[in-house]
């Protein structure tokens, strides 16, 4: 007996090229299907072999049935008995690992199935999506299909135990998962009205970059008609959140979200922040981030694009602990409304912040929002006893990130407060800045203008500032720094370097910092032009000699060294060109000696004193270590 069917089509089922063969004398049967679509899944080259088959007008029986798909055997055995006259039957599927599906067809047309320890690993050979995720665990549950006068109903209840999964890239995984699910659906007006619940009560999961633990419960309801799935209401019970709800309209044929909305009410940031915000803000230091306050929000998407967003902050803030004070921001309160097609204004009140020991005062921020752009007319952020002022800051979100321009000014800050906040020796003077050209590009900040520090009766000016990824692992800064007419007496007294009277000019050109550590620069220190008193103490001579290392020495008559506390000098000069880890050293221009040495200090007066260096290539780390030792202790010079 042979039967062929070219095509069977139904909204939930499609069969192509079905062939059935029955050999009554041998008691064997075979069913082959070239292609099958069922419940959104597709299979090809399906074959069922029944080595023990019996078929009549009243009954159909298949024992020891074996399934194959795509030419591969599936780990299932099938037993089927069907009483066609009595309209009842039973199907048993065993997975070879102790799992069973027992489905019974009753005389009233209802179909009920019981699933016992069904292995997800066994199902993976039948459902390719499970194989891709290396799914494991066992499923127990019940399902039923009822037909009452054309009104169909499906109910499913089940529990997953010992569940687990892992993606091929290792960025998503779960273990020891315990999940309970329920589904109830019935037909109405050519579609299905449905309700479902999903409760996660055991195990944990890593879904890069989030680590999630059991607890959430999802309850949802909606309608399915053809390829259109409507999620009318979905509520999630989540620790730390008063209410989380969503709705959506999905085109299943295109796997496309046509419209969706989400609302969040009363999210306690102290509980939600460590789980969902810290991994995004600072993955490497997520355990050190602390959050406070609450946030409520709502958003709407159309065709996968965000069109509306509202966020309300109530005393929200965060802090990141670190040596030296860390970072803190807030509390922040206010409303941020955004619409894709209209202009809005966000008004925020920030009560302060901290970066290390740099304290920010309270300030208000008003931002004009339009499309992908944001504009800040003026914002004054108190900092220590001054302020940072932003004017005309215009930002725009592009595919690569944020870009924009504006201007910034730093109202004078007291250097005693700045030096204390930065952990530096106390300095007098002020710090100010005028940066009329502030330009932002994705991952980069460029500052036209100059940062000026009035200190040691002179000034220091930084220009050409360019910063890349300031808060990332690849932080990079470049600039040119010049200093003019710095009073050496104040400078050496501040850093306990001994005593030198006079003035110096300094240039640090082509400065490059990577990870906030010097990688390259051309630095030169020279005596300032003009007539002024030039004296150097014995301790300063010792420290300069020690800074030069074993190859540096003070050239002075030994018999006269102990007779003088200070010495006159004509000029001083020192240059370091850093490339990588090596500093190329030189001294005063035209101060090179025939024996390869270079003058750092040229003596003048009686007694005459020269400080001479001989090491022209110095390891940068060693040079920094020497400077730290010089500032910490007195070091005796080499005298001749």
pLDDT one-digit tens code per residue, 272-285: 999 999 998 888 88
Residue 214 lies in a domain: no
Q: Is there a contact between 192 and 183 (Cβ–Cβ < 8 Å)?
A: no
Residue 602 lies in a domain: yes
pLDDT band at 474 (very low <50, low <70, confident <90, very high): confident
One domain, residues 446 and 497:
no
Residue 499 lies in a domain: yes
pLDDT band at 471 (very low <50, low <70, confident <90, very high): low
One domain, residues 432 and 482:
no
Tally of structural domains, the chain:
2
Question: Residue 270 — φ and ψ, nearest 5°?
Answer: -65, -30
One domain, residues 495 and 566:
yes
Q: Return the minimum-mean-pLDDT range out of 131-140, 235-244, 342-351, 585-594.
A: 585-594
Report residue 297 as tokens: 């929000």
Residue 174 lies in a domain: no
Query: What pLDDT does 535 receive?
Result: 87
One domain, residues 389 and 491:
no
Q: What percent of the chain has pLDDT over 70?
A: 93
List the one residue out of 399, 373, 604 whose CA is nearest residue 502.
604
pTM of the predicted model as reported, rounded to 2 decimal places: 0.75
For the chain, what is the mean pLDDT? 87
One domain, residues 616 and 509:
yes
One domain, residues 501 and 607:
yes
Q: Is there a contact between 139 and 124 (Cβ–Cβ < 8 Å)?
A: no
101 SS3 class: strand
CA distance 534 to 527: 10
Report residue 195 as tokens: 């309700």
Q: Return the minimum-mean-pLDDT range out of 231-240, 454-463, 617-626.
A: 617-626
Residue 493 lies in a domain: yes
CA distance 503 to 500: 9
Q: Is there a contact between 248 and 259 (Cβ–Cβ < 8 Å)?
A: yes
Residue pLDDT, tens place only, 6-48 = 887 765 568 899 898 989 888 899 989 899 887 567 888 989 9
For 70-149, strand residue ranges (E) read 72-83, 88-94, 100-105, 111-119, 136-148
Residue pLDDT, tens place only, 57-76 = 788 899 999 988 888 888 88
Residue pLDDT, tens place only, 204-215 = 999 999 999 999
One domain, residues 493 and 590:
yes
Residue 105 lies in a domain: no
Domain holding 411, by residue range, is 384-455
Q: Is there a contact between 511 and 518 (Cβ–Cβ < 8 Å)?
A: yes
Burial (Cβ within 10 Å: 0-12, 13-18, ≥19) of residue 180:
middle
Residue 577 half-sphere exposure toward CB, CA atoms < 13 A: 4
For residue 201, how far is the Cα from the chain centroid?
28
One domain, residues 613 and 518:
yes
Report residue 431 as tokens: 């710090």
Strand duo 52-55 + 59-69: pairing = antiparallel
Average pLDDT over residues 408-418: 90
Q: What percent of the chain has pLDDT over 90?
A: 50
CA distance 246 to 262: 4
Query: What pLDDT does 12 receive?
Result: 56
Residue pLDDT, tens place only, 161-209 = 999 999 989 899 999 999 999 999 999 998 999 999 999 999 999 999 9
pLDDT band at 547 (very low <50, low <70, confident <90, very high): low
Residue 412 lies in a domain: yes
Residue 246 has pLDDT above 60, yes or no: yes
Query: Quick one: residue 551, left, alpha or beta (phi over 0 = left, psi -120 to 50 = alpha)?
Result: alpha
Residue 509 lies in a domain: yes
One domain, residues 449 and 490:
no
One domain, residues 531 and 616:
yes
Residue 455 has pLDDT above 80, yes or no: yes
Residue whose token pair is 């007195």: 634
Residue 511 has pLDDT above 50, yes or no: yes
One domain, residues 489 and 551:
yes
List the one residue out of 553, 638, 630, 637 whose CA is nearest residue 587.
553
One domain, residues 621 and 564:
yes
């Amino acid at each position: 007996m042979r039967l062929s069917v070219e095509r069977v089509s139904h909204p939930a089922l499609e069969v192509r090229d079905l062939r059935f063969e029955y050999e009554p004398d041998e008691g064997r049967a075979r069913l082959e299907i070239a292609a099958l679509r069922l419940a959104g899944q597709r299979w090809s080259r399906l074959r069922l072999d029944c080595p023990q088959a019996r078929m009549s007008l009243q009954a159909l029986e298949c024992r020891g049935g074996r399934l194959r798909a795509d030419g591969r055997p599936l780990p299932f055995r099938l037993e089927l008995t069907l009483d066609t006259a009595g309209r009842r039957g039973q199907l048993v599927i065993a997975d070879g690992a102790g799992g069973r599906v027992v489905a019974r067809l009753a005389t009233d047309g209802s179909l009920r199935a019981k699933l016992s320890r069904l292995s997800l690993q066994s199902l993976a050979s039948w459902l390719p999506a499970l194989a891709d995720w290396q799914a494991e665990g066992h499923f127990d549950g019940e399902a039923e299909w009822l037909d009452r006068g054309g009104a169909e109903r499906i109910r499913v209840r089940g529990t997953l135990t010992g569940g687990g999964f892992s993606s091929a890239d290792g960025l998503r995984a779960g273990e020891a998962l315990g999940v309970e699910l329920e589904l109830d659906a019935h037909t109405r007006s050519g579609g299905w009205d449905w309700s479902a619940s999903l409760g996660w009560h055991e195990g944990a999961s890593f879904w890069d970059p989030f680590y999630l633990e059991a607890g959430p419960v999802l309850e949802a309801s909606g309608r399915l008609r053809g390829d259109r799935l409507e999620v009318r209401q979905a509520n999630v019970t989540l620790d730390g959140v008063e209410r989380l709800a969503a709705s959506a309209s999905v085109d299943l044929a295109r796997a496309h979200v046509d419209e969706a909305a989400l609302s969040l009410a009363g999210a306690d940031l102290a509980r939600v922040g460590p789980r969902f915000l810290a991994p995004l803000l600072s993955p490497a230091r997520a355990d050190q981030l602390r959050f406070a306050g609450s946030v409520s929000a709502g958003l709407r998407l159309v065709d996968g694009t965000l069109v509306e967003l509202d966020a309300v902050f109530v005393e929200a803030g965060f802090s990141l602990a670190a040596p030296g004070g860390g970072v803190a921001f807030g509390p922040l309160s206010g409303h941020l409304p955004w619409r894709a097609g209209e202009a809005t204004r966000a008004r925020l009140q920030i009560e302060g912040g901290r970066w290390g020991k740099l304290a920010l005062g309270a300030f208000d921020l008003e931002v004009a929002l339009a499309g992908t752009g944001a504009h800040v007319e003026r914002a004054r952020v108190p900092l220590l006893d001054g302020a940072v002022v932003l004017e005309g800051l215009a930002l725009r979100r592009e595919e690569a990130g944020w870009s924009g321009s504006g201007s910034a000014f730093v109202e004078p800050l007291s250097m005693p407060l700045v030096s204390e906040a930065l952990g530096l020796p106390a300095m007098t003077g002020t710090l100010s800045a005028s940066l009329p050209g502030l330009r932002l590009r994705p991952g980069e900040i460029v500052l036209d203008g100059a940062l000026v520090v009035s200190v040691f009766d002179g000034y220091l000016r930084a220009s050409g500032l360019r910063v890349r990824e300031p808060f990332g692992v690849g932080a990079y800064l470049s600039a040119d720094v010049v200093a003019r007419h710095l009073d050496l007496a104040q400078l050496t007294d501040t850093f306990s370097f001994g005593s030198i009277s006079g003035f110096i000019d300094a240039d640090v050109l082509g400065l490059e910092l990577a990870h906030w550590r010097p990688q390259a620069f051309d630095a030169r220190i020279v005596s300032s032009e003009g007539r002024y008193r030039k004296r150097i103490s014995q301790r300063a001579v010792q420290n300069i000699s020690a800074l030069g290392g074993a190859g540096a020495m003070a050239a002075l008559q030994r018999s006269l060294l102990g007779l003088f506390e200070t010495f006159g000098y004509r000029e001083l000069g020192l240059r370091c060109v850093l490339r990588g880890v090596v500093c190329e050293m030189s001294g005063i221009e035209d101060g090179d000696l025939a024996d390869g040495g270079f003058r750092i200090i040229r003596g003048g007066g009686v007694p005459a004193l020269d400080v001479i260096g001989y090491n022209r290539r110095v390891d940068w780390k060693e040079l920094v270590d020497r400077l730290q030792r010089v500032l910490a202790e007195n070091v005796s010079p080499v005298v001749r």
